[in-house]
């Protein structure tokens, strides 16, 4: 349908903006307390958002509890936002549960200027470890060989798409630890499972429920 990506939680507005001069895109009328959470299938948020886009257009507003979220759908809209309005979209949303756990610190869950500083340091360190240089290029091609062999092992039979995650994650491990994991290594499989669970949690509106008690 031409919808290649959904950019969710691009811009967050706190309840303090309820009567502000910001003019938000149209969207479904929110219910008290839960907002528009009843319109989103937590198991397939992408389908829910695409269905809403058919009615409200490629840019619309949702309410997750008391938190307002502007949703962008479709390749062209997302590309324009990220390319032409880089500064406006450079930040990440605040996720209450991780704010409580890490107090807005750390590599993955910091926000604002702390995140920008941490990101610059991380990119610089990764480059020192070989990112963007020929020394890592050889390891990437080596990992690609293992990925191709894994695909061949299925002999044309269907297999789980998350299997493709093995290669890029292994490249990251090579840069961090200097070595790779075998795709069937129990420790590696456990790490993949934990990463997948974290990604699912990050995409769940349930993580914003704790914000209700602070509003």
pTM for this predicted structure: 0.53
Tokens 């590309």 identify what position?
79
What pLDDT does 128 receive? 76
* Predicted pLDDT at 200: 74
The better pLDDT of the pair 27, 97 is held by 27
Q: Could you tell me the residue ranges of all domains in the chain? A: 1-90, 116-201
Lowest mean pLDDT among 65-69, 77-81, 210-214: 210-214
Exposed/middle/buried for residue 19 (C-beta within 10 Å: 0-12, 13-18, 19+):
exposed
- In angstroms, the CA 80 to CA 58 distance is 12
pLDDT, tens digit (0-9, with 9 covering 90-100), for 25-41: 999 999 998 899 889 88
Residue 110 burial by CB count (10 A; 0-12/13-18/19+): exposed, middle or buried? buried
């Amino acid at each position: 349908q031409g919808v290649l990506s959904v950019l969710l939680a691009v811009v967050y507005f706190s309840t303090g903006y309820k009567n502000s001069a910001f003019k938000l895109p149209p969207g479904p009328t929110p219910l008290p307390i839960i907002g528009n959470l009843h319109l989103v299938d937590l198991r397939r948020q992408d389908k829910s958002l695409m269905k809403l886009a058919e009615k409200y257009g490629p840019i619309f507003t949702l309410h997750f509890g008391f938190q307002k979220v502007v949703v962008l759908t479709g390749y062209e809209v997302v590309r324009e936002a990220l390319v032409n309005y880089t500064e406006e979209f450079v930040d990440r949303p605040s996720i209450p549960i991780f704010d409580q756990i890490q107090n807005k610190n750390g590599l993955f869950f910091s926000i604002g200027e702390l995140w920008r500083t941490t990101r610059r340091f991380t990119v610089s360190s990764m480059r020192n470890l070989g990112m963007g240089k020929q020394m890592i290029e050889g390891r990437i091609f080596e990992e690609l060989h293992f990925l191709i062999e894994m695909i061949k092992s299925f002999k044309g039979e269907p297999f789980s798409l998350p299997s493709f995650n093995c290669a890029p994650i292994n490249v990251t491990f090579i840069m961090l630890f200097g070595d790779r994991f075998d795709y069937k290594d129990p420790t590696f499989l456990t790490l993949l499972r934990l990463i997948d669970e974290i990604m699912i949690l990050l995409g769940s509106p349930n993580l914003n429920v704790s914000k209700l008690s602070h509003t």
